[in-house]
Amino acid sequence: MTTKVCVYPGTFDPVHFGHLDIVDRALNIFETVVVAIAENPKKEPFFSLEERIKMFQDAVSKYKGRVIVEGFSGLLVDFARKYNTKIIIRGVRLFTDFEYELQIAMTNYKLDKVETFFMMPQQELIHISSSIVKDVAIHGGDISSMVTPFVKSMLEEKVKTLWKNS
């Protein structure tokens, strides 16, 4: 089976330049990248699923339809089947990321012969994580080198709302 579509899953809470680098690089290999934003009831995301979708859609608007952004819940292999692909792209930054991602990749292969391609972001982006972005934003640091202007404004608004309500 050959495919022109891959699925890039994650929580993306929020999307940052490391995520976007993976999308950009995947588009050098695949015609279409489907960003699958996980609802993930085990995690308590900072942003709602709708907000995360909106931020990612804004961040990839320059790709003119080559990137589809959609929320999902349930098994990733079922979501991939919807797009008739057996290719998953995962970004890994550190060896600890790889250990966890390898377990998921092997499970997805066992469930439905889904292959996982691991990609690393550019060296200058490898330190960025959604957790770090949120932490810096909460403490009033400058996140403009980590996220798009739209995501930055969404984060600033969310932080203001949190401080008002606490």
H-run or E-run covering 10: strand 5-10
pLDDT in tens, 121-164: 999 999 999 999 999 999 999 999 999 999 999 999 999 887 76
User: Binding site annotation covers 10?
Assistant: no
pLDDT in tens, 43-60: 789 999 999 999 999 999
User: Binding site annotation covers 144?
Assistant: no
Catalytic residues: 19, 43, 93, 130
Domains parsed from the chain with CATH numbers:
5-165 (3.40.50.620)
Strand positions, DSSP E, 11-157 = 32-38, 67-72, 87-91, 115-119
User: Binding site annotation covers 16?
Assistant: no
- Paired tokens of 100: 């966890």
Number of C-alpha atoms within 13 angstroms, CB side, residue 137? 30
Give this prediction's pTM. 0.93
Residue type at 47? F
User: Binding site annotation covers 145?
Assistant: no
